[in-house]
Structure 1
Amino acid sequence: MQKKLLMKVGIIAALMLLLCIPLLMIQATVRERMAYRDDAARSIAEDSVGEQTVIGPVLVVPYSEEIDTRVSGGADEPPRTKTATVRRLHLVYPDELKVGGNVGTERRYRGIHQVLVYNGQYDFSGTFTLPPAAELPRSGGNARIAAVGRPYVSLPIADVRGVRAIPKISWNGTLLEFGQGALLGAWQGGMHALLPPDTLAGGAGSAAPVKFSFKLNLAGMERQHFVPVGRNNVVALTSNWPHPQFGGRFLPEERKVSEAGFSATWRVPSLASNVQMLLAAQAQEGWKGGAAPGTPAAAAVAQAALVRGAASGAGIGGAAQLDSFSVAFVEPVNIYSQADRASKYGLLFVALTFAAFFVFEILKRLPIHPVQYALVGLALALFFLLLLGLSEHVDFALAYLGASAACIGLLSYYLGYVLRDRWRGLAFGSGLILLYGALYGLLISENNALVLGSLLLFAVLAALMVATRKVDWYQLGN
């Protein structure tokens, strides 16, 4: 081959490498806008409410036990008995826990960025089997129950700012109001309802199942988590949001998703989760040195937990270790992830267009200047920046259509003069329409992106081979 032809190939390759710089800058801009969107979501969570996690309800029985320890005396002292008092929590889980809920969604804005928030109306119901006070767990054979505190129903909630009304629990037909603080050891944020002092008074009647129910109006942002604490848990949710994302350790047993919304039902037995085992251990650890419920010290602890929860905006300490399930109310198209994926095809766009130019030069013997190559490449790169900017204000499909139409129109007009024939420019524009259409297919069909991309590359290679099948490259070099 002549040096001139090799030099032209080298210049085209160098231009492609140089065009990687604006493409990388565009990708950095996409990531920067994604960070701005995340900052907007955090700002909304700090000002209103974040993701929600609900644990419970759990019946908590605080009590203390006395443990006698034999202590040997000195040389002139006889052995004596030392009595230690240990504070403990006994957790009673629901035999049956049913949660029914309807969740509505709306959008909140920070500038041009939007975040999806929800408001859930939940109905909790079920039964507890109460243990007699005399049968509370003991540390050993020489331990005895010293005192039993006032039992209460604990309901830890990640962000109590989402509670829209103070709920009242129906406990065997008696209405009791929830107060501040979950008072469940490590989990302080939430609510608790004090039960009558004689709730665990011994006798056969105390072992009978007790029915409970309450309504909870809880708002949150983007995702709702539930921790199944009961022996048998049934959670049924409905919503007007048509694009749910189910996650966590358990997927719904039944679900229906349509344009009108979704409905989903989870059935989780205690045998399938680690909740009861871990919750009891972590609650006991967090209870050491705690304050008895109903006292001023307990009120202070609950208030401090509320302040911490308001400052953090989300999360229950240790809840991530507990088995849970969730539903996320997410947008079907994340414009930033789509724009980021599109920009990764930028170099492929440039390479295919430059290859078409080079083949056209060879077949038509019409020289195209490297500056013209560079201008076309910059126009192709600018498409991705236009796509990002437009998609922040209009629907992604309309943004894609507008950005591609602008770039294709500009290139068709320009190439009509570069190639010295208006119809040639329109022909290249038609090819770009097919190329942009193929890219859109890759973006909206993420699961099939690999096979579609492979077919696209095969089709392009086949077209190049067919177009140059009669070219004598040795003769061309001479």
Structure 2
Amino acid sequence: MDVQETVGKTRTFIRTSATLKIIAIAFLVLVLQIPSSMISSLMHERESRRDSVVQEINGKWGWSQTITGPFFTVPFKEYYTDKNKEQKSRIRYFHFLPEQLNITGELTPHIRYRSLYEAVLYTSRLKVSGRFTVPRMEQLTISPEDILWDKALFSIGISDMRGIQEQIAVTWNEATYDVTPGLQTTDIASAGVKTRVPLSPEAGSATFSLQLHLNGSEEIRFIPVAEETVVALRSDWPSPSFNGAFLPVKRTVDEKGFSASWKVLHLNRNFPQVWQDNQYKVNEASFGLKLLITADIYQKSIRISKYALMFIVFTFAAFFFTEIINRKRVHPIQYLLIGLAVTLFYVLLLSISEHLNFDAAYLISAGAITCLITGYSQGILRNKYFTLTIFTVLFILYAYLYIVLQLEDYALLMGALGLFAVLSTVMYITRKVDWYATGVSSKATEEE
């Protein structure tokens, strides 16, 4: 009899102990991190799939473009003595940059779709003009008679040659020259076009102009190769991201598009106007813009998934405090089902947002999970007051998460304030609870 009484008391303690229930809930929270991790991996997998499809589309249209130049590449002879003490010569190159460079143009964006994914492409029409001055020979450690001015090459770096849509003709003073593909050297740019423009050290200054009609994807950049480089672009794309070494000196962005202009001096970069071979790398001075797709559902879904643990904890806390305050009992299996419903929200959000607007997908997913958990709580506890409380808690949580998602710059602040508010509420509700004397559903147990 004493053994049965002891066993009965032990069972009662296990069923009614708030401490053991907290431990059980903590264990379930840890278990639920497994499906949460799987959902996060699914989001990254879908994002990776999207990126590969976008890369495939971009590769067929044209990659992001970087315009370098124009610049001159001039060959010269260098004499040396070989191991047999015979004097021989070889060809080397020096490069010089323009005094003035002006680039104006327009980007026409295009959206291409494949299956569920979209890629942003563009067509650019650029007018390039400026002025060159043949450098003074004191700037070079080369004998004037060794320079092959008649073989000077007017060069333009274009990172993806597949994007060229029209023939390129260079107007040099009054003369016109057609370009050919391929650069003489890769000292300044890895790909581009060139044309031979004979020079003379006594020629002084000359003006040039040309038109570039290029296809590209997502991003366009420029290298400031002149003593003064001025770039002005406009487009009807409403969400540009200005990046690179220099930001625009003027810009206007609204729902109708953007216009932006840059001005860069040779003093702002870390390479001179004249040098030999590949002494300097110019790519670090590039600047430009990226055409952003603001409704990136995968980035938003991944950001939201980071709050999964908080949602599980808060939802479990609401049920646990109901057990404490209202003397109702919720089985750990029921906690597990509720936790799985919370994690299901993220799968619903991702799958629906691939077909609908993200805001609509969020509303549908949050509404479905709120109704599911609210209805389940009514079924297991049969308490309208508690059911309303659960509905209110879930509504506030999902509304709060949506607000945090919109306020990217204030996400940390909003998160900290939200946690402070929740902790304050919990402390206020439980301020009179005697945790040493508390048992979950002790009244129901005594009746049994």
5 Å-filtered alignment, 1:19-34, equals 19-34=32-47
Moved more, 123-132 or 376-385: 123-132
Counterpart CA distance in 1 for 2:389 and 2:408 is 29
| SS of residue paired to 1:50 | coil
- 2:267 pairs with 262, 271, 278, which one? 271
Query: Structure 1 residue 190: deviation in Å?
Result: 1.2
| SS of residue paired to 2:183 | coil
CA distances 1:424-444 after superposition (whole Å, capped 9, x unpaired): 323311221110011111112
Structure 1 pair 110/232, CA: closer, same or farther in 2 (3 Å)? same
Q: Is the 8 A contact 2:110 2:122 kept in 1?
A: yes
Structure 1 segments of 4+ aligned residues over 6 angstroms from their partners: none
Cross-structure match for 2:351: 389
| SS of residue paired to 2:374 | helix
- 1:220 pairs with 216, 219, 242, which one? 216
* TM-score, normalised with respect to structure 2: 0.88
Amino acid at match of 1:31: H
Structure 1 pair 447/70, CA: closer, same or farther in 2 (3 Å)? closer
Amino acid at match of 1:86: R
Cross-structure match for 1:12: 25
Amino acid at match of 2:413: V
Number of aligned residue pairs: 426
5 Å-filtered alignment, 1:144-163, equals 144-145=145-146, 147-163=148-164
Cross-structure match for 2:75: 62
CA distances 1:147-194 after superposition (whole Å, capped 9, x unpaired): 444222100111011111112121102222221113233435211122
| SS of residue paired to 1:390 | helix
Amino acid at match of 2:369: C
Cross-structure match for 1:194: 196
- 1:39 pairs with 24, 32, 52, which one? 52
Counterpart CA distance in 1 for 2:97 and 2:426 is 70
| SS of residue paired to 2:355 | coil
Cross-structure match for 2:102: 98
Q: Is the 8 A contact 2:221 2:288 kept in 1?
A: yes
| SS of residue paired to 1:430 | helix
Q: Is the 8 A contact 2:126 2:213 kept in 1?
A: yes
| SS of residue paired to 2:246 | coil
| SS of residue paired to 2:316 | helix
RMSD: 2.5
- 2:372 pairs with 402, 410, 431, which one? 410
Report sequence identity in percent: 35
Cross-structure match for 1:315: none
Query: Structure 1 residue 88: deviation in Å?
Result: 2.2
Counterpart CA distance in 2 for 1:177 and 1:259 is 40
Cross-structure match for 2:257: 261
Query: Structure 1 residue 394: deviation in Å?
Result: 2.0
Counterpart CA distance in 1 for 2:27 and 2:147 is 84
Counterpart CA distance in 1 for 2:295 and 2:101 is 35
5 Å-filtered alignment, 1:252-401, equals 252-276=248-272, 280-283=275-278, 320=283, 322-401=284-363
Confirm whether residue 88 of structure 1 aligns to residue 88 of structure 2: no
Counterpart CA distance in 2 for 1:7 and 1:131 is 84
Q: Is the 8 A contact 1:65 1:138 kept in 2?
A: no
Cross-structure match for 2:445: none
Structure 1 pair 33/426, CA: closer, same or farther in 2 (3 Å)? same
Confirm whether residue 237 of structure 1 aligns to residue 239 of structure 2: no
Q: Is the 8 A contact 1:30 1:336 kept in 2?
A: yes
Query: Structure 1 residue 395: deviation in Å?
Result: 2.0
CA distances 1:238-273 after superposition (whole Å, capped 9, x unpaired): 111111111111111111111111111111011111
Structure 1 pair 355/400, CA: closer, same or farther in 2 (3 Å)? same
- 1:119 pairs with 110, 116, 123, which one? 123
| SS of residue paired to 2:102 | strand
Query: Structure 1 residue 466: deviation in Å?
Result: 1.8
> Which residues of structure 2 form unaligned runs of 5+?
1-11, 443-448
Counterpart CA distance in 2 for 1:138 and 1:407 is 76
| SS of residue paired to 2:363 | helix
Structure 1 pair 70/238, CA: closer, same or farther in 2 (3 Å)? closer
| SS of residue paired to 1:367 | coil
Structure 1 pair 435/282, CA: closer, same or farther in 2 (3 Å)? farther
Cross-structure match for 2:5: none
Structure 1 pair 170/13, CA: closer, same or farther in 2 (3 Å)? same
CA distances 1:205-239 after superposition (whole Å, capped 9, x unpaired): x11x2111111111111111111100110111111
Q: Is the 8 A contact 1:64 1:148 kept in 2?
A: no
Query: Structure 1 residue 108: deviation in Å?
Result: 1.9
Confirm whether residue 53 of structure 1 aligns to residue 66 of structure 2: yes
Cross-structure match for 2:244: 248
> Which residues of structure 1 form unaligned runs of 5+?
74-80, 286-317
Confirm whether residue 435 of structure 1 aligns to residue 448 of structure 2: no
Counterpart CA distance in 2 for 1:467 and 1:124 is 70
Counterpart CA distance in 1 for 2:330 and 2:139 is 89
Q: Is the 8 A contact 1:65 1:146 kept in 2?
A: no
Structure 1 pair 398/420, CA: closer, same or farther in 2 (3 Å)? same
Structure 1 pair 388/58, CA: closer, same or farther in 2 (3 Å)? same
Structure 1 pair 70/469, CA: closer, same or farther in 2 (3 Å)? closer
| SS of residue paired to 2:290 | strand
Q: Is the 8 A contact 1:30 1:340 kept in 2?
A: yes
Query: Structure 1 residue 423: deviation in Å?
Result: 4.9
| SS of residue paired to 1:263 | strand
Amino acid at match of 1:119: T
Counterpart CA distance in 1 for 2:216 and 2:161 is 10
Query: Structure 1 residue 281: deviation in Å?
Result: 4.6
| SS of residue paired to 1:85 | strand
Amino acid at match of 1:178: V
Q: Is the 8 A contact 2:58 2:119 kept in 1?
A: no
Amino acid at match of 1:259: E
Query: Structure 1 residue 136: deviation in Å?
Result: 8.7
| SS of residue paired to 2:329 | coil
Cross-structure match for 1:301: none
| SS of residue paired to 1:246 | strand
